[in-house]
Amino acid sequence: MNDNNWQLSDSELSDFLSKFGSKKEGKSVDTRYQYPYVELEDVMANPNEYIIPQCLPACRALWDRNIETFMVSNNDDNDIYVLMQNLSDENKALMESLSQADKRFFFDEYRGTYGIGVKGNDDRAMHELTALVDALQIQDTLRFQTVEQFLETYKLTGGKVEIDEFGHIVRLPNPELANATLQEALEKTGKSGLYVAGEGRVYESETYLEWHNRYQRALQEQLREEISPLGSNRDNVNPDASHLRDTYLQAEREYIAELLQHEGMRQLVEEINQMPSETLFAAAQKIVDDVEMGLVPEEQMERTEQQLTIMLTAIKDKVLLKELVKTPDTPSRSR
């Protein structure tokens, strides 16, 4: 046989193709769940196409907590699991702690991510897997860029592609976009509606902006639940509850009154009292993020902490702040 002119006969070709799953005429093949990778938003839009029924309730419960799913088991697996990605530091810590005592919580070394899994692939396993999600918290989405990151990325658009000294493909900034403004970048990319000025963030999509808003609402609701027994009913005649409320308010009053002695704090309180709760919470969250990312200089840390305390107090009890700013025995410093 001449290798240069080698070819299969019709019968040999048919046999060859059959080994790679070619379909016989008239016989349909279910291709659901047979995908190597699909963007999460596409999966959430059509979950029955990508996720087996046994894993779907757990995935929905994770999405409700703003937790991204990365991979799930298939019908031909003996056991079922769900892998996650972009977990918050809090949920990572929870997973790490839980995995020490319960093998149903684990870290996938190969893929570098956390997951939950149970034995079996049936209705019982489905309910058990879904119940594991209760151990995790709602989190903020990580699908955003800071203004600086967003603008830097935009300026790469249309830039020259090169291979660096390490063999990596890199895109260089486009000289024509060197002076591009944030407004221009937002308009050109169609992301004006995804920019939250108070946070300095540009979210990846409407889905992830809604996830962020849902997280903010959850935190506000949690805060209200924690504070309401102390301050929501000022006419409460129950002696124990009244004493607890008064003790809390007095301690809060004394500490905030002390902070008001600092230059500019009284003006800050007056500004805060004009801010809607949603804006106020976002501004406080940005301060926390800046501190965690090391963006606040050491010499400004004390004042930053004071500002954050004032803002969190306003979130909890704006009435208290309004009373404090009018307190006659707290002198106003000259500006």
Question: Over pLDDT 90: what percentage of the chain?
Answer: 47
Radius of gyration of the chain from its Cα atoms, rounded to whole angstroms = 28
148-162, 224-238, 246-260: range with lowest mean pLDDT: 224-238
Residue 26 has pLDDT above 60, yes or no: no
Main-chain dihedrals φ then ψ at residue 89, nearest 5 degrees: -60, -35
H/E stretch holding 85 reads strand 80-85
For helices 301-316 and 239-259, give the axis angle rounded to 10 degrees. 150
| Tally of residues, the chain | 335
Q: Over the stretch 94-113, which tens digit does the pLDDT of each residue have?
A: 999 999 999 999 999 999 99
Pairing of strands 105-108, 169-171: unpaired
Given a contact cutoff of 8 angstroms between Cβ atoms, the answer to whether 117 and 79 are in contact is yes
Q: Over the stretch 296-319, which tens digit does the pLDDT of each residue have?
A: 888 888 778 877 777 776 666 554
Average pLDDT, rounded, for the chain: 79
- Cα separation of 279 and 282, whole Å? 5
Q: Over the stretch 240-259, which tens digit does the pLDDT of each residue have?
A: 555 555 555 566 566 666 66
Residue 204 has pLDDT above 70, yes or no: yes
User: Long-range contact list for 259-262, CB < 8 A, 24+ apart?
Assistant: 259/306, 259/309, 259/310, 260/324, 260/325, 260/330, 261/330, 261/331, 261/333, 262/303, 262/306, 262/333
Q: Of 79, 139, 75, which is closest to residue 103 (Cα–Cα)?
A: 79
H/E stretch holding 129 reads helix 123-132
Residue 134 has pLDDT above 60, yes or no: yes
What pLDDT, on a 0 to 100 scale, did the predictor assign at position 230? Answer: 42
